[in-house]
Amino acid sequence: MIRILHGYIGRELLKATGLSLVPFTLVMTIFAIIEPMRGQGLAPAQIAALFGYTLPVMLSLTLPIAALFAATIVYGRFSQDNELMACRASGLSVLTLLKPALLLGALVTVVSLGLNSYVSPRIVEMGERAAMANVRGIVYGQLSGEENARFRRGLIRAEEVYEDHDVLRGMVVAQFNRPGDVEFYLARQTHLDFLTEGDKVRIKPNMRHVHVVMTAEQSVGWQQTADLGYWPLPDVVQEHPSWYDWSRLMEIHRHPRKHPEIRRDMESVQEQLLHALAVRRVADAINDDGEYAELGDERNLYVIKAARAEWDGGESVRLFGDDDRLEVQVIRDGRLYQLVTAERADIVAHKPDEDLAGAMDRETRSQIGIELRRNVQVQTHLEDGEFDTHRREGWAIGGLEIPRDIVAEAEPRSLEHLYQLTEQTLDADRAEQALSRLRHRSPRLLNRILAEMHTRMAYGISCFLLVAMGAALGLVFRGGEIISAFALSVVPAALVIVLVVMGKQLMTSRDVPVSVGIVVIWSGIVALIIGDLCIYYYLKRR
């Protein structure tokens, strides 16, 4: 008899959950995701595909609410129709009748945790790829809708759009270089080039007969063409911990440098550190021994001799000669090939400029360049034993690789090690400037990761507690009417959601300790546990 009764209640719970889940999910999917994506210029076919990709994401949010609503209305009707009274007259306890609701709550908890932690992140990634399949449509959709197409390096606006010919008329391009330095390019007609390599997409505006306005120089000019390079297209779905699966959350929490933004910031700091170490090594060798002989390319070894060196604390060092002047010996195949003397030399470490289109997926290694100035004399030793001597205004060689031991020394073992190396190598002002962005971004990212982990766990556990509470409230208050059931369902669910969201925001705030946010997130769960215990104790007493 009990199995039959449990089966009856279970079927009603599943039916009510399914019927309430459909409208909740459709409404949230359309207004929370589909409408914003449609505004970015997605084609109807892409929107239809995106709808399928976002359903699992919305299910993880709407399933607990639907189960709560179903438990409240089913048990409310059970109590209102006097079926509860008949069961109690048969000797069945109230807690026995609530087992189907508890099983539903446990099932919803498992499904919600699985969707949030593993399924939804992968589905979102697939949806992003589907959306990015028509990057031209995204860009032209934004421009056709009388909006600005925004990129990391600037924005584009056009009065008329001809997508079939990749032509824009009445074009305005704003390129952001740094705060207070914006360059505006205006042209009657512009052709857009799209470049796709792997999963990376960039565009390049080809402008002719361009009017140029430079705010930093407060100048207005005109030029025949404007080469603005390739601009990376921003992702439709931004890189955010909310879209990470559980394993990636754990991985980035243990190793922050695996996050793309942190990795880019670390590489930027590491690059400055490497350059500073390389040129400081030259300065120390010159000041100690008067010679540095560790630079070379595939054919030549460059031996630098000077009287003294002055390091600027950054990426360059200046060398000075005495009465004997300074010299650079070019050793080829073990013999002196060229001897260059001068009064002054600059040694600069830098990352070479390459064509952006050709270097999208290729790392560019830092290099060192040597430039001699003032009374430069070049003596080239010929094969017959003779030598050719002539004077120049300057002599320079570039593209020399930084020695591997210096590269290994600049490789940090951890984020803290990078901080330590940078502070020990650069002067205080340069170190603070180099590390400021990383020190600001890294803790915030780790807090967002931690907040996301606590949020998912708290929300998953709340599913079971909410369904259990909804069923009990339905029995106590006889909430079989739709309005009563909805009101009883919304109050505890809204309390938990508000506290979880508030705690998540507090954990990502710089002005509030992380522990405060964690307490706020879990306070809703504690309140649900206390509420469930009180209600179930009351039902047991009855």
Q: Where are the domains positioned within the chain?
A: 2-134+442-541, 152-232, 261-426
Tokens of 530: 């206390």
Do the Cβ atoms of 40 and 138 come closer than 8 Å? Answer: yes
Bigger pLDDT: 207 vs 83: 207
- Model pLDDT for residues 322-364, shown as the tens digit of each residue: 776 799 999 988 888 899 999 889 999 988 754 433 443 334 4
Higher model confidence: residue 95 or residue 542? 95
pLDDT digits (tens, 9 = 90+) for 120-160: 787 777 766 665 556 666 677 667 655 667 676 678 888 78
> Per residue in 442-484, pLDDT tens?
888 889 899 999 999 999 999 999 999 988 888 887 655 666 7
The tokens describing 405, both together, are 């031991």
Banded model confidence at residue 92, pLDDT cuts 50, 70, 90: confident
Residue 363 has a pLDDT of 46
Residue 198 region, left (φ>0) first, then alpha (ψ -120 to 50), else beta? left
Least confidently predicted of 88-97, 339-348, 523-532:
88-97
Global confidence as pTM: 0.68
Q: Say yes or no to pLDDT of 46 above 50.
A: yes
- Rounded to a whole number of angstroms, the CA Rg of the chain reads 34
| Residue 321 pLDDT | 85
Q: Which tokens belong to 203? A: 């565009």
Residue 203 pairs with which residues in a beta bridge?
194, 231
| pLDDT at residue 361 in the model | 39
pLDDT for res 358: 40
Of 61-75, 156-170, 354-368, 418-432, give the lowest mean pLDDT range: 354-368
What average pLDDT does the chain have? 81
Cα of 156 vs its chain's centroid, Å: 23
Phi, psi of 244 (to 5 degrees): -90, 145
All residues at 6 or more sequence positions from 163 whose CB lies less than 8 Å from its CB, including other chains = 136, 137, 140, 144
Give the pLDDT of residue 388. 83
164-206 pLDDT per residue, tens? 777 778 878 887 766 667 788 888 888 777 776 655 677 777 7
Q: What is the pLDDT of residue 264?
A: 82
Query: Which one, of 525, 497, 521, lies nearest residue 64 by Cα?
Result: 497
Q: Is residue 419's pLDDT more than 80?
A: yes
What average pLDDT does range 56-76 have in this prediction? Answer: 85
Predicted confidence at residue 529, as pLDDT, reads: 94
pLDDT at position 74 is 87
Q: Residue 360: what pLDDT?
A: 38
**Whole-Å CA distances, 144 to 90, 139, 148, 163:** 70, 9, 9, 9
CA gap 239, 220 in Å, rounded: 38
pLDDT at 302 over 60: yes
Q: Which helix (H) or strand (E) holds 367?
A: strand 367-381
pLDDT at 44 (0 to 100): 63
Predicted pLDDT at 194: 76
pLDDT at 237 > cutoff 50: no
Amino acid 260: pLDDT: 79
pLDDT at 424 over 70: yes
Judged against a pLDDT cut of 80, whether residue 239 lies above it is answered with no
pLDDT at 138: 66
